[in-house]
Structure 1
């Protein structure tokens, strides 16, 4: 069982005939929307969110088909961004959010920033390319093997080929990162993804706080 960080509460939000499950940490007015990597869930943000709570209002949803959120029919980044925008608006904070996309959720963070007002947008560990990749390759592209032992319980992927197929249009989008020219083990090359929300939660929290 995961330890319970302080100030966390879990809620549901109606979306496309179903419900989006999300965690919220109440702090100052500015909302920060944390988007987990595909095949993981909102718990990957718990250590970082505990550091951020107090500086902002932190929101970490389970994306459709992940964690406790059901998989609906509509899964384009624009459709999911619309649901998340309504979720943030429902808080009544009247301040544009900061949107943080981890790894394969980068297309969603980009879609949100393209459609809606944001105070800032940050993507981390975006893979250089997972076009046509299978489940294991999608998981590996996040840098999950670099998660410290004490945080491994927050990074347990759902290795479901059906979920990869449902998100294929996201995964096959061009990446903004340039491919790494030579193959290395993830632990050897600092330029490869390293699952930053869990390998360096304090450092990433500081980057987000700078945007506030």
Structure 2
């Protein structure tokens, strides 16, 4: 009889000022931290996380950015402060291993900022923005290549139409982020984690 993969559990970290909600698969191994881009939420990672969780060598964490999903909005979306919150959240997992951090779109800045300040096994980023995001939701979404996502996975790429979030996160682009790419390997096509979740999960296993 084959062991069953770990089930997804939902958790909350922090106080009302820095509240973050995340899903977790597995309790052992190396942490793999999955970060979504602006206007989306942690559910975009469920197909990849479910596949990756079949491996007993990692514990998968998918986090809602502040103001997204179930994480509370903040008065200040400072990148350094959120990087520190993410580090405390990861330390609280008690896995005692440097994480693999994956950043989709704008969260590439958060992934790079984390790796610049904290021990990190590898960083994988993709769909990075080439410029500061527009305040126009339609323009922001038009830049996303959703057409190639199979119908079965399209439900995981539903954006929140909130121009206020785009404005709130503009501070990330005024900060002088220090690029720090532990792993230069990155997918190049739009939403590769939903176009081929099993293939994307295999890429992450190679980084463990």
Deviation at 1:174, TM superposition (A): 9.2
Aligned to 1:210: 206
Query: Does 1:65 pair with 2:70?
Result: no
Which ranges of structure 2 fall in alignment gaps of 5 or more residues? 180-186
Aligned to 2:43: 43
Structure 1 residues 200, 165: CA separation in 2 closer, same or farther (over 3 Å shift)? same
Structure 1 residues 147, 6: CA separation in 2 closer, same or farther (over 3 Å shift)? farther
Deviation at 1:172, TM superposition (A): 6.3
Query: Are the equivalent residues in 2 in contact too, given 1:126–1:193 (CA < 8 A)?
Result: no
Aligned to 2:116: 114
Deviation at 1:169, TM superposition (A): 2.3
Aligned to 1:98: 100
Q: How does 1:162-181 map to 2 (within 5 A)?
A: 162-170=164-172
Q: Aligned partners of 2:77, 2:31: CA distance in 1, in Å?
A: 24
* TM-score, scaled relative to structure 2: 0.84
Aligned length: 194
Q: Aligned partners of 1:155, 1:131: CA distance in 2, in Å?
A: 18
Deviation at 1:106, TM superposition (A): 0.8
Q: Aligned partners of 2:60, 2:101: CA distance in 1, in Å?
A: 10
Q: State the Cα RMSD in Å.
A: 2.3
Aligned to 1:180: none
Structure 1 residues 128, 192: CA separation in 2 closer, same or farther (over 3 Å shift)? farther
Q: 2:157 aligns with which of 155, 161, 173?
A: 155
Deviation at 1:7, TM superposition (A): 1.0
